[in-house]
A and B are shown apart, each in its own frame.
Chain A
Amino acid sequence: MIEVAGLSKAFGDKEVLKDISVTFDAGKTNLIIGASGSGKSTLARCLIGLVDPDTGTVLYDGRNFIEMNMKERKMIRREVGFLFQGSALFDFMTVEQNVQFPLDMLTSMTAKEKVVRVAEVLERVELSHAGKLFPGELSGGMKKRVGIARAISPNPTYLFCDEPNSGLDPQTSIVIDKLIHEITLEYNTTTVIITHDMNSVIDIGDHILFIHNGRKSWEGDKVSILETENKEVLDFVYASEFMKKARK
């Protein structure tokens, strides 16, 4: 579980996050949604310490991440898996080496155990055949799946996904969403997904946080988001013609 309280961040005069408080539970896919520039990526970066907030606390199962020194943060980060928007796979490593990398760096597994674990997670993301390929030889969807495999290989307690569907076709997006949702249930991870994909919201939104202009505007789930009267949420959810027609 990740508890955020009173989180604020400004870059110069610009307030990017204003007093955000929210709880992300384990075993649920927690979605942070909002328009581009609303502050959702900055929020995620504050949660994992890539950006230091000006005020507020972030508790990882009761441990205050913000007050930790670099060494303590490092230990927390070892419990975190992160799927980047562009996958961020290491170009000079094969798929297998990418997936094995967190095991090499963060665990004391034997070589044999690592091989077994890599095969296991690659099978989980249905990429057993692609282990020897380099990232440059993969499609966008495959890269995302390798990114997921790398993120989950050390059995993380917390899983962050930054726009996992960006640049993917609708069918592949569904596959990725389903995979993340299944992994969340299977490993009981606290999963936080930053997205503005409405399909993801409706498919896997166990818990949704809507950010507007840097502040928490609404919180609910995939059912209540379709029933809310919050104008900012309505403008976001029904922005497309398709959703407008569906609503009618």
Chain B
Amino acid sequence: MGSFVFHLGKYIMLLWRVFSKPEKFSIYRRRLFDEMISLGLDSLGIIMIISLFMGAVITIQTAANIDSAFIPSYTIGFTTRQSSILEFSPTIMALILAGKVGSNIASEIGLMRVSEQIDALEIMGVNSASFLILPKILASVFINPFLIVISMFVSIGGGYLIAMATDIVTITDYVEGIQLDFRPFHVVYALIKTSVFAFLLTSIPAYNGYYASGSALDVGRASTAGVVNSMILILITNYVLTQLLLI
């Protein structure tokens, strides 16, 4: 418990430094665009592949588990849409990004720490925490909602492809299902979750990397800790946000 409070305090103090006034806005702007490409666009491929297959599998599994004449087959499309929008796209993608982007952030910043690059920034009078971490957080919080919206479309598209390729559901029923009882707030809810998760999956690995010390082995440990901690916090936050926003 003591360790948790210690790290929480240190994390909050780091965030205080991260969100202090930047030295030069022009430099930060340039870094922000670089990070959007590195953390966002570079993840687009993996997001699309996973979403496509995720949507396809949800469709097949739903069809396989509906074994009643009283449940209409458009339920398959409805379930695919709801699962994708409410949970799979925002949460599962956040967990995948925590693995991909989180480990990248922790190891990049950790290596900068052990190779004295962070000390070099501090000696130059640059707020290293803000310079290194702020563009990553802002880039992720801005770009991840776009990724997740793409993921939602691709996931539902994956189910559509299954409907086209197999006879488990007709295209008409599937399309009827994905249009049934659509509530725009569910997308808003998913995007709120995505933004919160984006903050967590960048700031927590950045914290672990920033305070890494020693050798490359320690950087590896920091990277693992960053990914695990951010994943756990994403799951806990998911529960809290769902309780707050949907119930």
B-binding residues in A (CB < 8 A): 48, 50, 74-75, 77-78, 80, 82, 84-86, 88-91, 101-102, 104-106
Q: How many residues of B contact A (CB 8 A)?
A: 16
Cα A89 to Cα B124 in complex, Å, equals 13
Known interface pairs A50-B122, A82-B123; A105-B23 also in contact (CB < 8 Å):
yes
CB distance from A24 to the nearest CB of B (A): 17
- Minimal Cβ-Cβ distance residue in A for B111: A91
In the complex the two chains form, is A84's CB within 8 Å of B124's CB?
Answer: no
In the complex the two chains form, is A104's CB within 8 Å of B27's CB?
Answer: yes
Which residue of the partner chain, among B23, B26, B123, contacts A77 with CB atoms under 8 Å?
A: B123
A-binding residues in B (CB < 8 A): 23-24, 26-27, 111-112, 115-117, 119-120, 122-126
In the complex the two chains form, is A105's CB within 8 Å of B123's CB?
Answer: no
CB distance from B210 to the nearest CB of A (A): 15
In the complex the two chains form, is B115's CB within 8 Å of A86's CB?
Answer: yes
- Minimal Cβ-Cβ distance residue in A for B23: A105
Known interface pairs A104-B24, A104-B27, A105-B24; A91-B117 also in contact (CB < 8 Å):
yes
In the complex the two chains form, is A84's CB within 8 Å of B125's CB?
Answer: no
Cα A80 to Cα B23 in complex, Å, equals 17
In the complex the two chains form, is B24's CB within 8 Å of A86's CB?
Answer: no
In the complex the two chains form, is A105's CB within 8 Å of B124's CB?
Answer: yes
Cα A80 to Cα B125 in complex, Å, equals 9
In the complex the two chains form, is B120's CB within 8 Å of A82's CB?
Answer: yes
- Minimal Cβ-Cβ distance residue in A for B26: A104
Cα A105 to Cα B120 in complex, Å, equals 13
Known interface pairs A104-B27, A105-B24; A88-B119 also in contact (CB < 8 Å):
yes
Cα A86 to Cα B119 in complex, Å, equals 12
In the complex the two chains form, is B125's CB within 8 Å of A88's CB?
Answer: no
Known interface pairs A85-B116, A88-B116; A50-B123 also in contact (CB < 8 Å):
yes
In the complex, chain A residues whose CB is within 8 Å of the CB of B120? 82, 84, 88, 90
CB distance from A1 to the nearest CB of B (A): 19
In the complex the two chains form, is A78's CB within 8 Å of B27's CB?
Answer: no
In the complex, chain A residues whose CB is within 8 Å of the CB of B126? 105
In the complex the two chains form, is B119's CB within 8 Å of A84's CB?
Answer: yes
Which residue of the partner chain, among A84, A101, A102, contacts B116 with CB atoms under 8 Å?
A: A84
7 A-B pairs closest in CB distance: A88-B116, A77-B125, A88-B120, A74-B125, A82-B123, A78-B125, A84-B116
In the complex, chain B residues whose CB is within 8 Å of the CB of A88? 115-117, 119-120
CB distance from A106 to the nearest CB of B (A): 6
Cα A132 to Cα B226 in complex, Å, equals 33
A–B Cβ pairs within 8 angstroms, 24 of them: A50-B119, A50-B122, A74-B125, A77-B123, A77-B124, A77-B125, A78-B124, A78-B125, A80-B123, A82-B124, A84-B120, A85-B116, A86-B116, A88-B116, A88-B119, A88-B120, A89-B117, A91-B112, A91-B117, A102-B124, A104-B27, A105-B126, A106-B124, A106-B125
